[in-house]
Amino acid sequence: QVTAKTAFLFILPQYNVSVPRADGELVQYHYGLKDLVTILFYIFIAIILHAVVQEYALDKINRRLHLSKVKHSKFNESGQLVAFHLTSMVWCLYVVVTEGYISNPRSLWENYPHVYLPFQVKFFYLCQLAYWLHALPELYFQKVRKEEIPRQLRCIALYLVHIAGAYLLNLTRLGLILLLLQYLAEFFFHMARLVYFTDENNEKLFNVWAVVFVVTRLFTLTLYILVIGFGLPRVENQALDPERGNFLSFLFNNILFRMSVLLLVCLFQASVMWRFIHFQLRRWREYWNEQSSRKRAATGAKQQAKPLKRDSGYHENGVVKAENGTSPRTKKLKSP
């Protein structure tokens, strides 16, 4: 029994609470320090799954494609993220649909703070934190190039800050919707990269990703304005109460603080859109340069393929005759 209790500490979420309801008791969860033990266990699980995907899927495809070292590293990165984003996207969609967060947008801010979480919501957040923490040792295991490490560290840090912030500040419902939108755009981007590595002439999925990216950015900005600008300021309990998990509503009741946060959100989204536009312009410029170089190469090949212009006349018995029937060769003058 002692061993079983210790095993449950690693495998299952802790801090369960029975919440009384009209139709009976409902078991829900809140967070605490024991969550770190559960996250540690699922970090090892994520490392094992990462190795399985690499060994039985990505390495076999890489052997057939014969990619360069740079493309090989990017292919492995995108392959791992496609598997993770697809799994997380389906799982997150299932959670928000079954919990009714999409059908009832008011639930994103109503009854804040959302201290008590359903099992599937808490387990989802623990697994997300475990995955992005496991990405840190994977930088060493995958032998990522030094030039790529700062970019990947930035990406990991941003995901950890947003996921942990939503989890600790009791904004888990809003965090689920934002993660769903983010993972949707990231899935199409890394899927487009995989298709591009297999066939460099196929860039159609990049166009699909561009549309999905713009749409998800608009939805993300709309959600921030809806929840921060209109939802949280209307929460009944506006007093700071850390024991009950109320950290934000009293801040968002201040219009100056609320407008400052919205301004920061808009500036961040604007910077993301600027990098996106810059990337698209560079891609289109490279595309048109490649097309023009192909046209020049095709034109040069046609010019070289043209037949050489022959001298006027015709052949007779292997000798070139002029049009008047005389030989084009100069006659030798007899010496006197």
Q: What is the DSSP letter of 330?
A: P
Token pair of 297, please?
């190469």
Cα gap 267→277, rounded to integer Å: 15
Q: Which amino acid is at 258?
A: R
**Is 238 a domain residue?**
yes
Q: Region 235-264: what's the mean pLDDT?
A: 71
Matching residue, tokens 């967060």: 101
Residue 12 lies in a domain: yes
Dmax (CA) of the chain: 137
Distances (CA, A) of 292 to 215, 279, 287, 296, 299: 32, 20, 9, 6, 11
The whole domain housing 156 covers 1-294
302 domain residue, yes or no = no
Distance in angstroms (rounded) separating the CA atoms of residues 218 and 214: 6
Count of domains in the chain?
1
Asked if residue 335 has pLDDT above 50, the reply is no
Q: Hey, what's the torsion of the CAs at 57, 59, 64, 67, to 10 degrees? A: 130
Helix (H, G, I), strand (E, B) or coil at 325: coil
Residue 99, domain member (yes or no): yes
200 or 329: which leads in pLDDT: 200
Is 90 exceeded by the pLDDT of residue 235?
no
* DSSP result, 163-198: HHHHHHTT-HHHHHHHHHHHHHHHHHHHHHHHHHHH
Helix (H), strand (E) at residue 19: strand 16-21
Among 37-41, 168-172, 175-179, 325-329, the range scoring the smallest mean pLDDT is 325-329
More confident residue, 137 or 307: 137
123 or 231: which leads in pLDDT: 123
Nearest-angstrom CA–CA distance, 248 and 227:
12
* 322 belongs to a structural domain: no
